[in-house]
């Protein structure tokens, strides 16, 4: 087996076409490692002209990781002299380049793919404290709004000054508006009424299309090749709800619940605007906060929420039980990771009482930042045994689930 020096070009009788391919791959690997390692690799790996912008943007943000660990960021010659290269991690600041947070944001946004840029924004706010981004109108408009960015900003909200908090509100508003546009049609379709297949609809729209009845109505129009000519298209009407449902949302606001809190606030806002649904919104940790008066304003809910602290689900369930007026027309939806810091026995007793009285009990398990279920399976199983339907659902599926309950 030949041993190939990645830094040497193949020559002489030992060179083969395969070695040329290997060297090209090694060059690409070296390029990537240079970007990963930064100036620590400067003595061995150079930065190509095409990568200088990438190097500058990465260094501006991620050199903060080394600074936090106590590495030097200034210049200075290497011990023993020699090349005169800096062994520190001083910022790479070519003449005429703006390396402020705004300048970094503008440059990074133009250099990296959208998903990478979104991740860098999250790191900038949540890990490296670049909250000055929230104090500049131009920077706020340059930010790429995403669920991940909103969650990261909510988690550092308590450390922001008034100006940065105002900027945060604008970013959260953009993220919420985007989610609402996507989710509102799902909730409206799911909750406004169930399909009534006993009546034909005058509203010939796709969501009312009844394919089963359409097939039956056109069975006599199938040719010898099995192709059907459809002349009679059937649509189903939607049954209208005449009674109001009370939907009580209990949302865990402990530290791990930021992603779920974001979607819960949006869902509460959407439900508040639907006819026939009376929304009550309560946030809880070791105490319960009534947010019903602003349930129709997700941004205010999120800016008011106090992420962190412990969890007393039993207290929240007991509080919800006291708000029930008509058990058979009430849904209590608990959004939590089910890690109970209070009394599990009291929690189970409260769920059992409400379920026995006719209240529909729903448990929405928390989703992490990757939209993966993250909850206490043991407590969830006990809650299910007491009469609560428990599921880990995306907001879209929650809309459908709630629609099935209310119609």
Which pLDDT tens digit goes with each residue over 254-311? 877 888 888 899 999 999 988 888 999 999 998 999 999 999 999 999 988 887 778 9
In tens, the pLDDT along 69-79 reads 655 544 433 33
> What is the pLDDT at residue 11?
43
Average pLDDT, the chain: 74
Its CATH architecture, for the domain 245-406, is: 3-Layer(aba) Sandwich (3.40)
Beta carbons of 72 and 88 less than 8 angstroms apart: yes
> What is the pLDDT at residue 85?
35
In the predicted structure, residue 362 carries a pLDDT above the cut 80: yes
Please state, for a pLDDT cut of 70, what percent of the chain lies above it: 64
> What is the pLDDT at residue 369?
63
In tens, the pLDDT along 90-119 reads 333 433 333 455 556 656 666 777 677 667
In tens, the pLDDT along 42-70 reads 666 666 666 767 777 677 667 666 665 65
- Report CA-CA distances (Å) from 303 to 171, 173, 306, 368: 11, 10, 8, 20
Average pLDDT over residues 334-362: 95
> What is the pLDDT at residue 1?
38
> What is the pLDDT at residue 370?
66
Please state, for a pLDDT cut of 90, what percent of the chain lies above it: 27
Q: Higher confidence at residue 96 or residue 375?
A: 375
> What is the pLDDT at residue 316?
96
Residue 358 backbone phi and psi in degrees, to 5: 110, 0
Rounded to whole angstroms, the Cα distance separating 405 from 407 reads 6
Whole-model pTM?
0.62
Neighbours of 332 (CB within 10 A): 27
In the predicted structure, residue 86 carries a pLDDT above the cut 60: no
Strands 330-336 and 245-252 turn out to be parallel
Greatest C-alpha distance within the chain = 94
Rounded to whole angstroms, the Cα distance separating 135 from 101 reads 10
Structural domain spans, the chain? 16-99, 107-191, 195-238, 245-406
Encode 205-235: b = buried (16+ Cβ within 10 Å), e = exposed: eeebebeebeeeebeeeeeeeeeeeeeeebb
Q: How far is CA 262 from the centre of its chain?
A: 8
In the predicted structure, residue 354 carries a pLDDT above the cut 90: yes
Rounded to whole angstroms, the Cα distance separating 249 from 265 reads 10
Beta carbons of 235 and 208 less than 8 angstroms apart: yes
Encode 358-374: b = buried (16+ Cβ within 10 Å), e = exposed: ebbbbbbbbbeeeeeeb
Q: Higher confidence at residue 8 or residue 365?
A: 365
Q: Higher confidence at residue 26 or residue 184?
A: 184
Q: Higher confidence at residue 49 or residue 128?
A: 49
Helix and strand element counts for the chain (H, E) = 14, 8
In the predicted structure, residue 320 carries a pLDDT above the cut 90: yes
Q: Higher confidence at residue 17 or residue 152?
A: 152
In the predicted structure, residue 10 carries a pLDDT above the cut 80: no
């Amino acid at each position: 087996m030949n041993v190939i020096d990645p830094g040497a070009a193949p020559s002489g009788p030992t060179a083969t076409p395969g070695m040329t391919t290997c060297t090209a791959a090694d060059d690409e690997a070296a390029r990537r490692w240079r970007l990963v390692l930064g100036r620590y690799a400067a003595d061995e790996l150079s930065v190509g002209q095409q990568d200088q912008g990438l190097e500058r943007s990465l260094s501006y943000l991620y050199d903060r990781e080394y600074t936090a660990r106590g590495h030097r960021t200034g210049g200075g010659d290497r011990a023993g002299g020699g090349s005169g290269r800096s062994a520190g991690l001083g910022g790479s600041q070519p003449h005429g380049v703006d390396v402020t947070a705004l300048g970094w944001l503008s440059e990074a946004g133009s250099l990296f793919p959208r998903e990478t840029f979104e991740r860098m924004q999250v790191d900038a706010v949540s890990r490296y404290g670049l909250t000055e981004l929230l104090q500049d109108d131009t920077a706020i408009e340059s930010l790429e709004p995403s669920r991940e960015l909103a969650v990261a900003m909510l988690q550092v909200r308590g450390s922001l000054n008034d100006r940065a908090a105002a900027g945060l509100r604008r970013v959260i508003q953009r993220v919420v508006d985007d989610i609402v546009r996507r989710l509102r049609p799902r909730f409206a379709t799911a909750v406004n009424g169930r399909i009534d297949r006993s009546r034909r609809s005058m509203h010939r729209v796709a969501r009312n299309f009844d394919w089963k009845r359409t097939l039956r109505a056109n069975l006599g129009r199938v040719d010898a090749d099995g192709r059907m000519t459809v002349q009679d298209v059937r649509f189903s009407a939607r049954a209208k709800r005449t009674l109001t449902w009370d939907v009580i949302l209990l949302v865990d606001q402990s530290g791990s619940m930021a992603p779920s809190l974001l979607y819960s606030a949006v869902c509460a806002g959407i439900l508040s605007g639907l006819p026939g649904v009376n929304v009550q919104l309560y946030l809880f940790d070791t105490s319960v906060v009534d947010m019903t008066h602003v349930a129709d304003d997700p941004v205010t809910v999120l800016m008011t929420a106090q992420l962190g602290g412990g969890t007393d689900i039993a207290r929240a369930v007991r509080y919800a039980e006291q708000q029930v007026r008509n058990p058979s027309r009430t849904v209590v939806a608990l959004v939590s990771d089910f890690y109970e810091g209070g009394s599990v026995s009291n929690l189970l007793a409260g769920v059992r009482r409400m379920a026995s009285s006719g209240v529909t009990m729903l448990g929405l398990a928390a989703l992490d930042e990757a939209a993966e279920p993250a909850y206490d399976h043991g407590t969830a199983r006990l809650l299910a045994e007491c009469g609560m339907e428990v599921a880990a659902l995306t907001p879209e599926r929650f809309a459908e689930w709630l629609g099935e309950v209310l119609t």
